[in-house]
Every structure is written in C-alpha cells, then in structure tokens.
Amino acid sequence: MTSKKSSVNPFRFTFLRTCSRNWLVPLGVFLLTGYAFFVCGFVDAKRNYNRNLTDGSVAYYLANHKFQLSDNNWGGLGFVIDLLLIAASVVLAISIFRYMFSKKSVNVYYSLGMKRGEMFLSKYLAGAFLLTVSVVIPMLADVIGNITIFGSSKELWISAIYMTVCVVQMMLYAYSVTVLVCCCVGTILEAGFFGLVFIASPIIAEYLVSVLFKTVLYGSPYGGGFDYSTMIYGQGHYRPPVSFTALQNNILFFASGRFSKYHELQRGIEEVPYNFKNPQLLPVLVMLAVIVAVAFASYVFYKKRKNEIAGFLGSNPVITGIGIFTISAFLFAFISRHIVYLDHSNRYLAFLLAFGMIFVVYTVIQIISLRSIKLFFKKFRFITVHFALMAALIAVFVTGLFGYSTRIPDKSEIEKIAVSTGTGDIFYNNASSYSTVHSFVDSYYQGITVDAGVKAEQNTLYLIDGYDSPEEVEHILDIHRRLIEMKDDDFSPEARRKSFGERKVLSATRIIYTLKDGSTFDRLYTCSDDETNRLLSQLTRTENYKKGAAEELSWYFGFKEVTFENDEYSEYGYLLGDYEISVPADEILVSIASPNYSSLKTAPSLNTKESFRELYDALASDILSGRLPLDFNTDSPVKGYIQLSSYNESYFDKPKEMTESWHTNNVIISIGDANIVIPVYESMTDTLAVIEKHGCTSLFENAKEPVAVETWKYGEKALDPYGSIKTTLIQGVYLNNEGKIDEFSTYYSSFDENGEKLNMVAPKLAPDAVETDNPIQIKKYSDAFRMMTLDCFDGYYVRLIFEDGSCVYGYAPMTLVE
C-alpha cells in the first residue's frame, strides 16, 4: 500500500474552507454595502455630474463638492440597512459555528488534529475576513469612482476609511457577540435568539438606566424631556451619564447619524471653505477594544466548551439567565415609560412592573428551554435571583441614588444659578403646555431627534441664568429644599384636586447650579405646590430676571440669532446634522389683540424692522423698570396684548389674511413655531407710547362683547389645572364659526374624576362648569379676563361666548374676580 505524503496546514485549510463554504451571506452584505456606498455614492454623484453637464453648471458642481461617498441616510434606508447588516453578521456567525450544535458534527470537528484555539481562530477570522472584504470592496470602488469625478483628496480618504471602519466594526460587534453566545449554548435557536439579545444588551442597559433616571429618580434632569432655553443654550437635551457607553457603540451612533459629516463634503458657495473636521477616533478605538474583548472571551469559552451540550436547549443557565434578565429589563423599561407612564409619584409600582415582566419572561423562556413543567417548577426558585437583582437596581433609584436626590450644594460652593420659574411667565407661557411629566407631547414642529431608535422628547423649559447675589442664592436654596422635602409627598390626582394652598401641582422646575470649581449641579422637579410656585414667581421681580427677560425677548424680535453649538450636539449624536435656529425679522408678524381677544389684527405700521426695534426697546424698558409684571401678578387693567408670531409659508398659505379675519373664519390665533403673547397694562408707558406713535392704539378695542360666560374653578373637578390647558388656549386653537374649538396638534394630558389619564387635544371645560348670561356676572368675569395667568394663583377658567356663537377661552385670576 502506498500513500501520498503531504504536509498539511490545518489552520490555513480551515480558514480557506470556511471562506469557501460561507460565501452567501457576505455576498448579501456586498450587495447591501454596494448599494449603500457605490450606488448612493459614486453612482448618485455621477448622475448629478451628468445632470449638471447638460445644463452647463458642471464647473459649479465640481467646485462645490469634494466627494460623495454615500447619501445622507443611505437613500432613506439607513436604519433598514443597519439592521440587515447586523442580521447578516448574526447569520454568518451561526453558519460558521453551527457544527457546535450537533453531536454528529462535533464528533468530527473536535477529533481533528487541531488545537481548539486554532480551530476557533481560523473560523472566527474567516468570518471577520469575509465581512470586512464585503464592505471594503464596494467602498474602494466608490472611492475610485469619486476620484474620477472629484479627484483625490485627504478628506475623501479619511471619510472613506472612517466609514468603512465603522460599518465593519458594527458588523464585527454583532458577529463576535453571536460567536460568543454560540460558544456557550447548545442549539442554533439559542444562538440566534440570545445572540440578538446580547447584541442589543448595551442599548437595553442604557435605555433601562435612562428610564429609571427619568421615571423614579427624584430630581433627575436626565431624560426628563426638557430643553432649556436661550440663556443657557447648548446644554439642551440631557441624557444620563451612561449614555457615554452608547456613544462608543457603533451600532448606536450609526443610528444617530454620526456619518452625516463624512458621507459627502460640499459647500454652498465656492468662496466658503469646506467645513471638514477629522472624525473622532475614541469611539472607534473603544469599539475595537470591545470587539477584541468579546472575541477573546469567545476564544476562551470555545476552548473550555463542553461538547456534551450540543443539541440540548437550556444547557447554559448563565446565558439563559442573562437573556431573561435583559429581555425583562427592556420590557419593564418600555412599559414603564410608554404604557404605564411611571413617575416619581407612583414609583413603587416599578417593583411590581419589573417583577411582572420577569415572571412572564422567565416562565416563557424556561418552559421552552426546559420543556418540562415539572423541571420548571423545580427550578422556579431561581427566579428570586432575577427579582433580587432587579429590585436592588430599582431600589437604588427609588431611594435617591445614594443621596443624589437630596443633595444640595453648599452656598459657599455656588458661583451662580440658573432656574426656571416654573409657574408661568411670558417665556414659560410659550412652551409650558408640556410642563408636567404627564404631558407626552408629539407636536409635529417640535424637534424630534432619534437616538438608537428611541424617540427623544425635546420640550423646552426656560431658565434664566445668573442668580448670584446672596439673597437670590438663599431664596433659590430655600425653594430647592422645599422641593426635596416633597420627595415622598402624595401627588395623586386626589392630592392635586385639594383646595388652593393645600394641593400639590405638577409643574416643572429646573435648577442648575454652576459651582466655583466649574462643574454644574443640575436638578429637575416635576412636582410642586402653590407655596413653592409662589416663591418661584418672586424671582421674576429680581433685576437678574428682568434683565434676562429683556434679553430673551430680543430673540422673538429676531435681533438675536441663536446657534446651537454644532459640534457639541453632533458629538453627543442626538441631532441629525447641524442646524441653527434663527428667526428672520421678515418672518415675524406683530399683531395686537383686544383685552377679550375678540379682536386680533396685524399692526402693519409695527411690522417693519425699524418699528420692531422701537417696540422691543420700549418693552425692554418697561420690563427693566418693573412696569410689566412678568408673573402677571397685577391688578392693573389690561389694555390688550401684543402677539409675536413667526410664520412660515410652508405651513400656511396666507397667514396674514387668516390672522386678520380670525373672527369670521376658521383661523389660527397663533401661527408658526415662535409665538409669544405679551400683556399690555396701563402702567407700560413706553410700550403704549410706541403703539400710539404708530397709530395702533385703536387695535386694543374689543370687536364685540360677550353675551354669556362659562366659568369653572381651577382644580375642583375633572380637569387638572396643571394639565397645560392655560397655554393651549393661547398657543394653538382653532375657532370655527360655531365657536367650537377644533382639534389642534398640541396635546396635553389630564385626569378625569376616576384618576384616569386623558390625552386631549383642546381644552374643554368640565360638564359642571357654570354658564350664565347674567350681565353682572359677565362684566365681572370679562373685566378679570386674562389670556394668561399664573399657575400658583387661584382662579377660574373662563369661556367668553359671543352673540355669533364664537368664543374665547381664558382665565380669571381669583384676586381680580374677588
């Protein structure tokens, strides 16, 4: 017998064989990335180039583009492509390592003359190689195509390498995690299922902590859904510190549009330099470290694998346990946040919810994996481990995160404080319809950003910064102490329906201390009481507030352009690209309303840039002189209102005409996304002088007087007075010919008599509201009628009903009615 002698290299042989037998998935990846890069990049650029060629503007096109490697969001399929690439990585991992799940194949592969570690590495590297190649080739073709159009540039290569590395890393992360799970479990079913769960685990962990920060941690500003405004721009949308982990995860920052800078480089005007900044290396390095760590762990587990588990479900109780906990945590967080609306007032419900989720997930997964009810009950005691872990985690947050909820900086540490009045002022008025944690607003013109597929709320809470005098600091510290003392108070609907002064209210207060060491100390409270709100309202009488208010007002007049710190935002990955907010003066509309709002007309002579300046100066002067009570706390008769609206042709065809004819047609009282209503009192001499000078005084006259009035006292019955009704009245109301309020996109929530939550679109007075046509009563409420009032004061909701059936909603402060 003769034999063919040969030298074998099992490592190389296994590597090549794995590549040759697993080409289908990489081919799919190749086609996907071919579309994402080559088609959305070079092919699209070539199309644009040819289009420009035909109209002769090719020189302009070339002069203003440095490259185009892809489009903004991979042709609008970015998220889908991400998911498909991750799914492909999972499938490839399972395909390569599937021999571990069958006793038959285990017998063959583990008897081969290779060390286990070598076998693992050859197979793992083959998969990684396939994934890498299937991304690199399309990108290389894309780069070469770009060079043929735009020429080579450093920016092109940096962007191409960065994007390639990030896409490859995303897939390698998913691939490696799945391989790790494959090494620990006995069946394909578990490998696929737990692989996906483990891939999502960093996202779930971040989400869980965010939700706990938001829902049950008293005083936490993180994830509170509040921006705070112009005086301290740039620190707007807060996320818990754990978000850092998300930022370093390519899966997550993919979704946040991190590539928006690098997919193409263009400029609007030829003379303007290209705005290109090198991508950050830290996330890439962190992700690389994570992938290497996961791969190493897989290597170790592969070497130690007990082959007897092949083909057996539930053979690794640790993996099953982590999977159960992760899924339970996600369901708990999701349901807490989006279905049960957990908050501090019902924080103990968190335990019940979490245990419920654990019970359900544990039962389902264990019954499937054990496939024996008897065994399930025998092992049921292990559910207590899940209960204990989850309870410990929730308890940490519910009890105040190791003193986080009760800590107040020492007076000597404080340099200055920013605080929202939280109670109602001209700025708060602008956006306070979202003032409680119970307001889940989805207003279409609010900036909605996406972070890892989680919708981020972006509501606005206005803070005035710069309180630094000892009196102001002490006053704010007092308020802060009061808010902390309320930590364990009852904020149930019943508690909020008590009489004025005894009730609890849902209103947002944010306090940010800038400490002398440069750090900030930030807290947000969404519960309060009348006395605390009264103390807060006193801040509006300080010089600091008046100064801040006057400065803030300039933004509404278009004198101040507010620009987000682009880099800061994009670094955190919450905003899809760079943008700025500014209100061009020619888009501002100045209107004047009568005291009962039966007349609201544009003031043409005030709608010029010069008259804006005059009007602003006059208002600023009145504010700074204390002639405009910013908390509306005055007995002085109101002369009428100045309304500033920013309108946009894309929203409304003929806003001016609509505004002028509001009382006869279906009209919008306020238009656009930047409106403010400023009451004008008789004491505001400077403002009244400017209005007089421009011949607009007559616009303060009511067009008609009410023939009936309907009133309803705050907080007594069905509707919660702090359910944002106040500003809804001002901000977005359609009135039709029948005087009914049509739906508008501003939602608010409140509670009915049973404590059931109501999400509503327009204010409705309760069924037990009192309607009268008694002339004395009509006069009483008409005289007291205000379009805005302060939350912390007592009073009535009022509906003025006119003869033609139209009506206006407003308020009558108790002090004025009495």
Partner 1 sequence: MIEIKGVTKKFGSFTAIENLSLKVGNGSVYGLVGYNGAGKTTLLKTIMGIYKADEGSITVDGVETFDSPDIKKKMFFAPDDLYFEPYSTINKMAKFYSGYYPEFSFETLEKLCKVFGLDKDKRINSFSKGMQRQAELILAISSKPEIILFDENFDGLDPAKRNLFNKMIIEYVAETDSSVIISSHNLHELTDICDHIGLINGKRIVLDCSVDDISASRCKFRLVFADEKTEEDFKDIPYKKFNKDGRIITLSMAVDAEEGEEILRKLNPLMIEKFPQTLEEIFLDEMEGSDYDFKEIFG
Positions in the binding site for partner 1 (CB under 8 A) = 1-8, 10, 13-14, 17, 102-108, 110-116, 118, 303, 306-308
- Provide the minimum distance between the beta carbon of 197 and partner 1 in the complex, in angstroms, as a whole number: 25
CB 425 within 8 A of CB 726: no
- Provide the minimum distance between the beta carbon of 318 and partner 1 in the complex, in angstroms, as a whole number: 15
Which residue is it, tokens 């286990």? 116
Closer CB to partner 1, 17 or 416, in the complex: 17
- Provide the minimum distance between the beta carbon of 114 and partner 1 in the complex, in angstroms, as a whole number: 5
Closer CB to partner 1, 102 or 702, in the complex: 102
Contacts of residue 717, Cβ cutoff 8 Å, sequence gap at least 6: 497, 753, 766, 768
Closer CB to partner 1, 102 or 153, in the complex: 102
- Provide the minimum distance between the beta carbon of 566 and partner 1 in the complex, in angstroms, as a whole number: 54
**Which candidate, 308, 317, 303, places its Cα nearest to that of 102?**
308
Task: Check the CA dihedral 679-685-689-692 and report its sign.
Answer: positive
Closer CB to partner 1, 115 or 455, in the complex: 115
- Provide the minimum distance between the beta carbon of 360 and partner 1 in the complex, in angstroms, as a whole number: 28
Closer CB to partner 1, 125 or 758, in the complex: 125
Which residue is it, tokens 């159960």? 324
Name the phi and psi angles at 787, rounded to 5: -80, -10
Closer CB to partner 1, 308 or 489, in the complex: 308
Closer CB to partner 1, 3 or 650, in the complex: 3
Q: Where do the DSSP E strands lie in 526-578?
A: 528-529, 562-563
CB 662 within 8 A of CB 726: no
- Provide the minimum distance between the beta carbon of 121 and partner 1 in the complex, in angstroms, as a whole number: 13
- Provide the minimum distance between the beta carbon of 188 and partner 1 in the complex, in angstroms, as a whole number: 14
Closer CB to partner 1, 303 or 541, in the complex: 303
Distance CA 565, CA 580 (A): 9
Closer CB to partner 1, 304 or 411, in the complex: 304
Closer CB to partner 1, 28 or 311, in the complex: 311
Distance CA 188, CA 101 (A): 6
**Which candidate, 225, 173, 183, 227, places its Cα nearest to that of 203?**
173
Distance CA 520, CA 226 (A): 17
Closer CB to partner 1, 46 or 116, in the complex: 116
- Provide the minimum distance between the beta carbon of 77 and partner 1 in the complex, in angstroms, as a whole number: 33
Closer CB to partner 1, 4 or 381, in the complex: 4
In this structure, the number of other CB atoms found within 10 A of the CB of residue 185 comes to: 29
Closer CB to partner 1, 105 or 665, in the complex: 105
Closer CB to partner 1, 2 or 754, in the complex: 2
DSSP symbols for 439-505: -----TTS--EEETTEEEP-EEE--EEEE-SHHHHHHHHHHHHHHHHGGGS--SHHHHTSPTTT-EE
Which residue is it, tokens 């009810």? 373
Give the pair of three-digit tokens for residue 588.
């501002």
Distances (CA, A) of 578 to 226, 260, 566, 581, 649: 20, 9, 6, 10, 23
- Provide the minimum distance between the beta carbon of 244 and partner 1 in the complex, in angstroms, as a whole number: 40
> Dihedral (C-alpha) 288, 571, 253, 166: value to the nearest 10 degrees?
-40
Distance CA 231, CA 228 (A): 8
Distances (CA, A) of 192 to 197, 291, 323: 9, 18, 12
Closer CB to partner 1, 114 or 166, in the complex: 114
Distance CA 269, CA 293 (A): 46
Closer CB to partner 1, 126 or 524, in the complex: 126
Classify the phi-psi angles of 257: left when phi > 0, otherwise alpha if psi is within -120 to 50, otherwise beta: left
Distance CA 693, CA 163 (A): 61
CB 646 within 8 A of CB 588: yes
Give the pair of three-digit tokens for residue 790.
């302060």
- Provide the minimum distance between the beta carbon of 102 and partner 1 in the complex, in angstroms, as a whole number: 7
- Provide the minimum distance between the beta carbon of 396 and partner 1 in the complex, in angstroms, as a whole number: 36
Which residue is it, tokens 């004395």? 776
Query: Which residues face 668 on adjacent strands?
Result: 734
* Residue 160 per-residue DSSP state: H
Distance CA 718, CA 730 (A): 21
The amino acid sitting at 588 is: I
How, if at all, do strands 226-228 and 459-461 pair?
A: parallel
- Provide the minimum distance between the beta carbon of 16 and partner 1 in the complex, in angstroms, as a whole number: 9
- Provide the minimum distance between the beta carbon of 218 and partner 1 in the complex, in angstroms, as a whole number: 47
**Which candidate, 285, 260, 286, places its Cα nearest to that of 275?**
260
- Provide the minimum distance between the beta carbon of 194 and partner 1 in the complex, in angstroms, as a whole number: 21
- Provide the minimum distance between the beta carbon of 380 and partner 1 in the complex, in angstroms, as a whole number: 19
Distances (CA, A) of 642 to 590, 622, 658, 686, 692: 7, 14, 17, 14, 13
Distance CA 644, CA 585 (A): 11
- Provide the minimum distance between the beta carbon of 312 and partner 1 in the complex, in angstroms, as a whole number: 10
